[in-house]
Amino acid sequence: MRHPLFTLAMKDIHLLLRDRMGLFFVVAFPILMGVAFGLVGAGFAGDDPDRKEATVLVVDADQSPMSRLFVSHLDEADDVATKAAANVETARKQVLAGKALAVLAIPEGFGETAGVFWAEKPALGLGVDPSRKAEGAMLQGRLMEAAGRLMQDRFRDPKSLRSVSDTARRQLAENTEIPEATRRALDVLFQSLDDLAEATPDESAEEKSVGGSGPSMELLQLETIDVRAGMEPGVEAKLRSRWDISFPAAILWGILSCMGSFAVSIVKEKQSGTLFRLRAAPIRSEHILLGKGLACMVTALGVIALMMGLGAALGIQLQSPGLLLLAALCTAFGFSGLMMLMSVLGKTEQAVAGAGWALIVTMAMFGGGMIPLAFMPRFMVEISNFSPVKWGILAFEGAIWRGFHVADMLLPCAILLGMGLVGYALGFTRLKRSF
């Protein structure tokens, strides 16, 4: 004998399969979303002036006046905000968690040659969030600009210029392998620098100009920091397809559609009279409600499996099947709970459908389901914390490409599970009262 829960859940899934429009929104719509966003993914990083500042976590191991000046120049850019970080490892994890665009590591000795175009410089480490490649390119431009301004600073500051020539003279004297002719030529050059320093007024006390472009020549050596270093062995540490970004959002759309469909089905049962037969049957009212929740969860899991199957065919290489399962279960549970809550938003099918879709669109809009969070203004990013869609997407991204560990999954999963529990509790209470 089949448990009533399964009987009820199977019936609801059966009904969904017969509803072509409902099926379109649950299955076809998210696929279209995933593919469409994936195809336009390369153009995600436009030059939108309202785009939020890209936070760059700076690990300054040099702590010299020049390194601080460099960070300050970088921070002056309109679209970049710097933030000090204790070490590269912590910063790398924050970038992976989507809390910053990049980590910038300034090595010791940076200040000695910074802004001196002929000197060999230690390389700066730069690790960019793989999902924000276009912004990463913008950041590289800003770094060059800041380095260019360092050179201007050098030439405006006679002390610094003299210090550079003194250091160079000292290194020249210590190096016995340099031919005499080269040594004489370099002496002339250093003398010219001294003359330039003598002729340059000390502007250090004057107000420094802000903005302006640096020279076009490359003044900086950059070394890539792999933000996904230290992940499970054998896992490739980079985004492998454009679908990595678009499919998690598309999966959430599928789940949102599921939620909308099943929320409406509860009030539909009431209106059509079938709820009467269910309530007169030898089952508990909890079974009726849990059956809906189970059907919603199973359908959501089916959508996730379908999307991931399609994603795999397109090139998504899943990093952690275990974490994907965790993300899928937590998301399906969370949103099925929300479905329960949504089903009590109105007394008629039309009222629940209207209120439900308004809620879905709002959650998707602020949660990164329509526009990736990376391209939202800061206030919207703050608001996104209140959208379950954000946490769902983050959980899937964590399993698919962010290289999350179980500990990293705790926050999004806890939020999704908590939301599910609250949704079930409130929905149950209201629905049972309305029976």
Partner 1 sequence: MIQARHLSKQFGDVLAVDDLSLEVQEGEVYGLLGPNGAGKTTTIHMLVGLLRPDRGEVRLGGRGSPELAEIRRILGVAPQALSLYDELTGKENLTFIGRLYGLGGDTLKERVAWALGFAQLEEKARRPVATYSGGMKRRLNLVSALLHRPSVVFLDEPTVGVDAQSRNHLLEQVRTLADEGCAVLLTTHAMEEAERICDRVAIMDHGRLLALDTVANLIAAHGGKAKVTAELKSEVPEGCVLPGSVDGGRLSFTSHEPLQDLLELSRKGIRLGAFHVERPDLEAVFLALTGRRLRD
Q: Which residues bind partner 1 (CB under 8 A)?
A: 1-2, 4, 7-8, 11, 14-15, 18-19, 272-284
β-bridge mates for residue 127, sequence order: 103
Give min distance, CB of 345 to partner 1, in A: 23
Sequence-ordered alpha helix ranges (H) in 97-216: 110-113, 133-156, 158-174, 180-199
Bridge-based pairing of strands 222-224 and 80-84 is: unpaired
Instruction: Give bridge partners of residue 173 from the DSSP assignment.
Output: none
CA 184 to chain centre: 55
Q: Which is nearer to partner 1, 1 or 86 (CB)?
A: 1
Residue type, 393: I
Identify each DSSP E strand in 332-375 by its residue range.
none
Q: Which C-beta is closer to partner 1: that of 177 or that of 277? A: 277
Instruction: Show the tokens assigned to 358.
Output: 């308004």
The secondary structure of 24-49 as a DSSP string is IIIIIHHHHHHHHHHHTGGG-----T
What minimum distance in Å lies between the beta carbon of 293 and partner 1? 17
| 3-state DSSP assignment of residue 80 | strand
Residue whose CB is less far from partner 1, 24 or 386: 24
Q: DSSP code of 283?
A: S
One-letter identity of residue 400? I
Structure-block tokens of residue 164: 């550079």
Closest CA to 254 of 30, 22, 7, 53: 30
Nearer to partner 1, 22 or 248 (CB): 22
Least Cβ distance, residue 1 to partner 1 (angstroms):
5
Q: d(Cα 428, Cα 435) in Å, to the nearest integer?
A: 10
Measured from the CB atom, is 99 or 432 closer to partner 1? 432
**CB nearer partner 1, residue 49 or residue 282:** 282
Which is closer to partner 1, CB of 5 or CB of 222? Answer: 5
Helices (H) and strands (E) in the chain, counts: 17, 5
> Is the Cβ of residue 15 or residue 97 nearer to partner 1 in the bound state?
15
Q: How far apart are the first and last CA of the chain?
A: 27
